[in-house]
Amino acid sequence: MMCLDCRNLVPGWIDDELGPVERVEFAAHLEGCRECADFARRERDFARGLRDRLPRPILPALERERILSDLRSVAGGRGRSFRLVRGGALALAACIVLVAGLAFSQARDWTRAYRMDHAAHAGASDGLEIRSASAMEVAAWLTRATGTPMHVPTMPDARLLGARTVRLRGREVGLAVYESGGRRLSLFLGGGQELFPSRGLAPDQLWTRRGTPYSVVAWIHQGHFHVAVSDLPVRRLQELARQCQKPAT
Amino acid sequence: MKERFESLVEGHLDSLHRFALSLTRDRDGARDLLHDTFVKGFEGYGSFVAGTNFRAWIFAILVNTFRTRVRDLGRHPHVALDESNEPTEDGDVVFELLEGSEILEAIEELPEPYRSTVLLVDREEMRYAEVAVVMDCPTGTVMSRLHRGRGLLRRRLRGLALERGFQVTDRRDGGNA
């Protein structure tokens, strides 16, 4: 073994990663080469010192909770969706993908994250972090939770159940949940351009994506982004969206 | 499946977060990177073979996600330095002179892929085979990157110690720090 070959193997020797043959050849070379032996020893001391002194900070409790919450929301939402697919709705999912592909000029279906989150919670009353029918109370809670001023609209034909926060594509947004005619409506609040491609959309103009089972209606009202998801008929969903745009009385 | 995935990820959360923070260099960026890693990980979890190395698997997703982001943003993090890798004689001494945070900062300044390789092996204590999966390269490349990365780091730490006014002398000559 040449000195250059030996020195290239030094990290493997330090980290106990050499194969049996390499290890024997390496040791034999060190026996007869003082320079390489010194080199290897210094490298080993450096690596040991590095490992001993290198800080390994652990997550602060609050940050850990936030990240775990992200993890649970991801796994929870997707898990329910996958069970749905396994339950025999594969054709339905394929249809959604096909419709999405045709409906959008954008490469990505931006409504997917909204629909999946809605699907994960539509059939249950759990998941709400605040339960209240008061739009003001819910708005105050969402504002505190997201750090962004939130306006929670009222709709004469829908009953506010409560709210929670949700992380979509790395952004924290508010989610107000309503019930209308026995069906749930998720209204996502506070997203930005990256969550809602609004190019060419006039203020208060409704953007509609008809889907099965969930349709999406989106709009910008007074500079705020709104995305509504529900299995209500599209016309009904649009009516409710119009009610949201009316000034509060 | 959901619970199993969550449990496996949670077992590596500190390590994943540390590495994400090293890649993005800011807390919000690290959280976003982790979020996208969780999404991709959960989507692909069906292809994960039980009994194989989950840590290497999820770290590989994290690194690929980060690479995609960097590519999308048009950044080029792979800047190798043309520095000699000849070791100085005082590697172990500098650790007595510098704080852990200073050592970490010096690692953060290493060019990729040396930075990631040093962090994965020396901080996260991964085996070369794991790093090879994460970085998508042969194990021999891991060893050579580590060799070079440690060499570059040694020079930086020595320079840092000298800047602070420390006398770093050659141990072969019998000098003391």
User: What's the pLDDT score for residue A191?
Assistant: 65
Range B108-134 average pLDDT? 92
B53, B115: one domain = no
Q: Is B31 on the interface with A (CB under 8 A)?
A: yes
Give B-chain residues touching A48 at CB under 8 angstroms: 92
B79 occurs within a structural domain: no
The whole domain housing B44 covers 2-73
Residues of B in contact with A170 (CB under 8 A): 31-32, 35-36
Is B62 found in the same domain as B24? yes
How close, in Å, is residue A20 to chain B by CA atoms?
15
Structural domain includes residue B173: no
Rounded-to-integer distance, Cα A183 and Cα B59, Å: 41
Residues of A in contact with B110 (CB under 8 A): none
Q: Same structural domain for residues B62 and B30?
A: yes
In the sheet with A171-180, reading across from the earlier edge strand, the strands are: A130-131, A159-168, A171-180, A183-189, A224-230, A215-221, A207-209
Whether B99 and B147 map to the same domain: the answer is: yes
Chosen from B48, B147, B156 to mutate, greatest number of chain A CBs within 10 A: B147
> Does some domain include residue B49?
yes
**Residues A128, A131: Cα–Cα separation, whole Å:** 7
Residues B7 and B52 placed together within one structural domain of the fold: yes
CA distance B107 to chain A (A): 10
Which residue of B7, B17, B119 to mutate against A (max A Cβ within 10 Å)? B17
Q: How many CB pairs under 8 A join A and B?
A: 122
Q: Are residues B100 and B154 part of one domain?
A: yes
Instruction: Note the pLDDT tens digit of each residue in B135-147.
Output: 999 989 999 999 9
| Residue where one domain finishes, among candidates B18, B38, B73 | B73
Residue B81 in domain = no
Q: Which residue of A has its CA nearest to B4?
A: A75
Place of tokens 């599209």: A234
For residue A105, what pLDDT is reported? Answer: 38
Residue B65 sits in the same domain as residue B119: no
Q: Helix-strand-coil percent breakdown of chain B, rounded to 5?
A: 70, 0, 30
ipTM greater than cut 0.90: no
Q: Is residue B175 part of a domain?
A: no
Rounded CA Rg of chain A: 28
Q: What three-state secondary structure class fits A186?
A: strand
Written as tens digits, the pLDDT of chain A (249 aa) is 889 889 999 999 999 888 888 888 898 899 889 999 999 998 998 898 888 888 888 888 888 888 888 888 776 654 444 444 444 544 555 445 444 444 443 435 677 778 878 877 765 555 788 999 999 999 999 988 888 888 899 898 999 999 998 887 677 889 999 999 888 899 999 766 666 766 667 777 888 888 777 888 988 887 788 899 998 888 899 999 988 887 655
Q: Which residue, chain included where needed, has tokens 């009353």?
A: A125
Our CA-based measurement puts residue A181 at a distance from the nearest CA of chain B, in whole angstroms, of 32
Whether residue B61 is found in the same domain as residue B18:
yes
Q: Are B142 and B135 a contacting pair, CB within 8 Å?
A: yes
A76: nearest CA partner in chain B: B2
Q: Do B153 and A50 touch (CB under 8 A)?
A: yes
Residue B119's closest CA among A16, A49, A58, A55?
A55
- Backbone phi and psi for residue B33, each to the nearest 5 degrees, phi listed first: -65, -40
> Considering its fold, how many domains does chain B have in total?
2
CATH number of the structural domain spanning residue B47: 1.10.1740.10
Residue contact B2–A56, C-beta within 8 A: no
Least confidently predicted of A112-116, B102-106, B114-118, B147-151: A112-116
For residue B172, being part of any structural domain is answered with no
What local confidence, expressed as pLDDT, does residue A9 receive? 92
Are B16 and B49 in a shared domain? yes
Residue B68 to residue B63: CA distance in whole angstroms: 9
Q: Does the pLDDT value for residue B169 go beyond 70?
A: no
Query: Does residue B39 lie in a domain region?
Result: yes
B77: distance to nearest CA of chain A, Å? Answer: 22
Q: Which tokens sit at B104?
A: 């970490």
pLDDT band at B49; cut points 50, 70, 90 = confident
Q: What is the pLDDT of residue B119?
A: 94
Question: Which residues on B lie below 8 Å from A64 (Cβ)?
Answer: 13
CA dihedral defined by B115, B120, B121, B127, rounded to 10 degrees? -140
Pair B104, B69 in one domain: no
Q: Say how far residue A31 (Cα) sits from the centre of its chain.
A: 56
Torsion of CA A99, A101, A102, A104, to 10 degrees: 110
Are B103 and B40 found together in one domain? Answer: no
CB B88 within 8 A of CB B155: yes
In this predicted model, what pLDDT tens digit does every residue of A222-246 receive, in sequence order?
A: 778 889 999 888 889 999 998 888 7
Is A51–B125 a contact, with Cβ atoms under 8 angstroms apart? Answer: yes
Residue where a domain terminates, one of B44, B73, B102: B73
Residue B57 falls inside a structural domain = yes
Q: How far, in Å, CA of B112 to CA of B70, rounded?
A: 13
Q: Does B76 touch chain A (CB under 8 A)?
A: no
pLDDT band of B16, cuts 50, 70, 90: very high
Are residue B52 and residue B109 in the same domain, yes or no? Answer: no
| pTM of the shown model | 0.54
